[in-house]
Amino acid sequence: MSELKQELKEKIIEQLNLEDVAIEEIKDTDPLFGEGLGLDSIDALELIVMLDKDYGIKLADPKQGKSIFESIETMAGYIKEHRSR
Amino acid sequence: MPVYINSIGSVSAQKTFDNSLFLEEIVRYNDTVLEIIAPNYKDYIPPAAARRMAKGIKMSTVSAKTAMIEAGMEEDEIDAIIVGTGLGCIGDSEKFVSDILDNDEQFLTPTRFIQSSHNTVAGQIALGMGCKGHNFTYVHSAISFESAVMDAKMQLENEEAKNILVGGVDELVDHHVNTHRLIGHIKQEPVETMSVLTSGTKGAVFSEGAHFFTLSNEKRSSCYSELLAVETFNTLAEDQVAAKTKSFLSENGMGPDAIDVIILGYNGDVEFDGYYDTLATALFKDTAQVYYKHLSGEFDTASGFGFWLGNKLLKQQRIPDAVRLNSVPANSAQNALIYNQYRGENHSLTLLRKC
Tell me how far apart the alpha carbons of residues B257 and B287 are, in angstroms, rounded to a whole number: 8
Range with the poorest average pLDDT among A54-63, B6-15, B35-44? A54-63
Mutate which of A21, A25, A42 to test chain B, going by most B C-beta atoms within 10 A?
A42
pLDDT band per the 50, 70, 90 thresholds, residue B222: very high
CATH number of the domain at A60, please. Answer: 1.10.1200.10
Mean pLDDT of B320-324: 98
**Could you tell me if B201 and B189 are in contact, meaning their C-beta atoms sit under 8 angstroms apart?**
yes
Predicted local confidence at residue A35, as pLDDT: 80
Instruction: State the smallest CA–CA distance between residue A74 and chain B in angstroms.
Output: 22
Q: Do domains B4-216 and B227-354 have the same CATH topology?
A: yes
- pTM for the model stands at 0.93
* Nearest residue in chain A measured CA to CA from B112: A46
Question: Which CATH fold topology does B4-216 show?
Answer: Peroxisomal Thiolase; Chain A, domain 1 (3.40.47)
A17 touches chain B (CB under 8 A): yes
d(CA B137, CA B88): 9
Domain positions in chain B: 4-216, 227-354
Confidence (pLDDT) at B312: 98
Nearest-CB residue to A46 (from B47, B103, B109): B109
Domain count, chain A: 1
Cross-chain Cβ contact B52/A38 below 8 Å: no
Mean confidence (pLDDT) of chain B: 96
CATH 3.50.50.60 for domain B227-354? no
Question: What mean pLDDT value characterizes chain A?
Answer: 91
Q: How confident is the model over A43-55, as a mean pLDDT?
A: 92
Whole-number pLDDT of residue A62: 76
Determine the pLDDT at residue B112.
Answer: 84
Interface test with B, best of A13, A39, A46, A52 (most B CBs within 10 A): A46
Whether pLDDT at A1 is above 80: no
Domain encompassing residue A71? 2-82
Secondary structure letter of residue B236 according to DSSP: -
Q: What band does B159 get if pLDDT is binned at 50, 70 and 90?
A: very high
pLDDT of residue B19: 95
pLDDT per position as a tens digit, B57-91: 999 999 999 999 999 999 999 999 999 999 999 99
Region B104-125: what's the mean pLDDT?
A: 88
- Confidence category of residue A43, pLDDT binned at 50, 70, 90: very high
Residue A79: CB partners within 8 Å, gap ≥ 6? A4, A8, A51, A55, A57
A18 and B CB contact within 8 Å: yes
Chain A hits for B47, Cβ within 8 Å: 19-20
- In order, the DSSP letters of B23-88 are SSSPPP-EESB-------GGGTS-HHHHTT--HHHHHHHHHHHHHHHHHT--GGG--EEEEE-SSS
- Over residues B230-240, mean pLDDT: 97
pLDDT over threshold 90, residue A17: no
Q: In this structure, which amino acid lies at residue B265?
A: G
Question: A23-39, pLDDT tens digit by residue?
Answer: 999 999 999 998 888 89
* pLDDT at residue B109 in the model: 83
Contact criterion met (CB below 8 Å) for B271 and B256: no
